[in-house]
Amino acid sequence: MKASSLARAAFDALTARKDGPTLYDLCDPIFRRHTGSGDAHIVKFYNTALGNPALRPLLRRAGLPELRDPARFKALQDALIAARDQTEPDWAAIGQPVADLLDTVSLQHPRPPKASHAGATPSIADIDTVIRSCAAHLLGSYNKNGFIPTYAAFNLIGDPDMHGREFLMALTGLNARGYKNSTLLFTLARIFIARSPAAKLINPPWAGIAEPMWEPVQIRHRSAYYDAFFTEALLSFGETGLASQDQTAQSRRAINAMIEFCLVTSREEVKSHDGSSVNVITALAPPPHPRFSRFFAQIKQDLGFGIYVPDCDTTACSFSAATQAGSTDPILNQPLLDFYAGYQVNDGANEPLVTVPINDNINYDGAIATWIDNLAGQRPYGNDLDPTLNLDVLEVSFRNCSRWQVLETPKRLETVHRIIGFQRRLVESGAFADPRSHIYYLPELYCAYFGRCYAALRALPEDTQRKLDPDGTFELIKPHVLAYVVNELIAHEMNAFDAALALIALGHLGAEVSLFIPPLQCIMRSRSEGGRKGPFKAYEWNKMKTPTRILVGGPEVTSAFVLMGLALARNAMQQSG
């Protein structure tokens, strides 16, 4: 959005006619100066996240006419008081008046216009220049910070797929009270935001699909999940042959340090379903390892995001990156499939394992849930299930097929077959293309990750491939994914991150080289858009739909994905001549 448009949106928000009670009319009497008994966290959360001086001016005129009804206003206030004061709140009852209001909000996923892609095909020399620029950005960031940072930001407008029904699922399915509090209050705030002029300022339009991270407050941090993909990006750079001798040495030092962070610093012991102990990888290592600033560390604590537990995705991606980097850490000898089997949904028999089923439009049978109980039995997010995560489980299983003796162990092979069956039903139904089916990712990223998983399978001996995928599911899925990339992604307006995802999918799936031209052109047009922060802007890599839409990405993330996409395109172009 242009500066003039932002200024106009700010003016409209600050001068709008007040059309009913506002968020602050509703909540200030309950939370602003409350010093009595009850849950102190919800009071602190309100004052830190919603009642702060930065947000107040934008929402002080954002009223809801329905709340002029005294009975409705009182019912909503009584629900908030119950959330504050009751020891064991009835969250379904508390959430219902908020859910009713949430259903008045109508948001849409991005719908980029059709695009024409006239112009010359970028040259190998141009591609090499951008690859080197992205690699220099990653290595420079590592040298400056001692790690490659990623950023988190809240989009207070929320997610288009979170309606009243899904909100109640989250409110009752999350375990930690802090997350219930944040889900309740963030959802309440998004109603006032979405139905006011402030929406245009807080959620301005953008080009393409992946959302730019232009929120003013971005929280820098480090996680093993991110280090795993930065490792893959630097490995990809090395495979291009474009790295200088010094860059090769720098890359190896960074890769070794990131693998150590994944497998050692972020290692956590948990109990498997059979009672044995297993080492997995936590989503966020304990302080000081996440590298939050002191300011944001305190805010994170105040907002109730203090407990993080291991997850199946971070564990899979960390093991995969370490395998690709040639690590010999004994942790890699653990056959993760034995552990993952305990988190696999069995045809409805253990679907209560998924306590936050906000994507229940898909059939969960055979898929692996997200979050892992820690040794204390904590699972603050409850549990959910994401299709892209299950691609990561397959990918790491393919890379470690021999080490884990997958073919020789019927139970492990069955676990793989059932995950593949889940993916088959997802794609055959067309649900993979529906944003609602995904908890943490975009359909476009699912396509890129399917390409990555497909390449890992095809790197195995043919007989092994047939045993892992006896029904030919990967070849069945491939044309569906390619059709989505060609007809829905690259045929429309893209941004640099979209284009990188398209190249990753096209490159791994062996698409015609002519299809690489639109995303390559987009990346060439976008280079230098990041200004002083890097070659490209920060875009949405992944998200959390609960407690609100929390985006994760960063300029370095965009550089990593662009590098990997361009490396694949470069290889395809060279092979085609």
3-state secondary structure 1-42: CCHHHHHHHHHHHHHCCCCCCEHHHHHHHHHHCCCCCCCHHH
pLDDT tens string 273-292: 988 999 999 987 777 776 66
Q: Where are the domains of the chain?
A: 3-111+157-201, 124-155+203-576
Q: Are 8 and 204 in contact (CB under 8 A)?
A: no
pLDDT of residue 307: 65
Please say if the pLDDT value at position 349 is more than 80: no
Tokens 């700010």, residue?
Answer: 10
pLDDT digits (tens, 9 = 90+) for 546-557: 878 889 999 999
Asked whether 157 and 190 are in contact (CB, 8 A), the reply is yes
- As a whole number of angstroms, the distance between CA 92 and CA 133 comes to 51
- Provide the pLDDT confidence category of residue 219 given band limits of 50, 70 and 90: confident
In angstroms, the CA 556 to CA 497 distance is 11
DSSP 8-state symbol, 462? H
Q: Helices 410-428 and 387-399 meet at what angle, rounded to 10?
A: 140
pLDDT confidence of residue 234: 98
Tens-digit pLDDT profile for residues 144-166: 999 999 998 888 899 999 999 99
Question: pLDDT-based confidence at 253, cuts 50/70/90?
Answer: very high
Min mean pLDDT across 8-12, 162-166, 172-176, 181-185 is at 8-12
Helices (H), 261-360: 294-302, 312-324, 336-340
Taking each helix axis as running N to C, give the angle between helix 473-484 and helix 410-428, from 0 to 180 degrees, rounded to the nearest 10: 30
Write down the pLDDT at residue 49: 87
Q: Tokens 């009497």: give the residue.
A: 29
- Please name the residue that has the structure tokens 């009804």: 69
Average pLDDT over the chain reads: 92
CA distance 401 to 560: 27
pLDDT tens-place string over residues 361-373: 999 999 999 999 9
The least confident of 305-314, 339-348, 435-444 is 305-314
The model carries a pTM of 0.94
Largest CA distance in the chain: 74
Each residue of 126-145: pLDDT tens digit? Answer: 999 999 999 999 999 999 99
- Statement: 124-155+203-576 belongs to CATH 3.20.20.105: no
Contact 194, 105 (CB under 8 A): yes
Contact 223, 150 (CB under 8 A): yes
Q: What pLDDT shows up at residue 465? A: 98
Peptide bond into 288 cis (omega under 30): yes
Which pLDDT value is given to residue 354?
Answer: 94
Q: Are 370 and 439 in contact (CB under 8 A)?
A: yes
Question: Is 458 within 8 Å of 478 (Cβ atoms)?
Answer: no
pLDDT of 487 > 90? The answer is yes
pLDDT digits (tens, 9 = 90+) for 393-451: 999 999 999 999 999 999 999 999 999 999 999 999 999 999 999 999 999 999 999 99
In the structure, what pLDDT confidence band is assigned to residue 215 with cuts at 50, 70 and 90?
Answer: low
DSSP secondary structure code for residue 47 in this structure: I
The amino acid occupying position 218 is Q
Q: How far is the C-alpha of 290 from the C-alpha of 301, rounded, in Å?
A: 13
Q: What percent of the chain has pLDDT over 90?
A: 77
What six digits make up the tokens of 206?
């953008």
Structure-token pair, residue 233: 């990006």
- Helix residue ranges per DSSP H, 385-472: 387-399, 410-428, 443-458, 462-468
* pLDDT tens digit sequence for 451-478: 999 999 999 999 999 999 999 999 999 9
How far apart CA 385 and CA 390 sit, in angstroms, is: 9
The residue type found at 549 is R
Closest to 277 measured CA to CA, from 373, 155, 180: 373
Half-sphere exposure of 319 (CA within 13 A, CB side): 30
Statement: residue 36 has pLDDT above 90: no
Place of tokens 């080490």: 403
Helices first, then strands: H and E counts in the chain: 23, 6
Report the pLDDT value the prediction gives residue 38, as an integer from 0 to 100. Answer: 87
Confidence band for 217, pLDDT divided at 50, 70 and 90: low
Q: Is 168 helix (H, G, I), strand (E, B) or coil?
A: helix
* Pair of tokens at residue 325: 């980097």
User: pLDDT grade, residue 11 (50/70/90)?
Assistant: confident
Question: Is residue 295's pLDDT more than 80?
Answer: no
Which range, of 179-183, 344-348, 518-522, averages the lowest pLDDT?
Answer: 344-348
pLDDT at 54 exceeding the cut of 90: no
Q: What's residue 298's pLDDT?
A: 59
CB 21 within 8 A of CB 67: yes
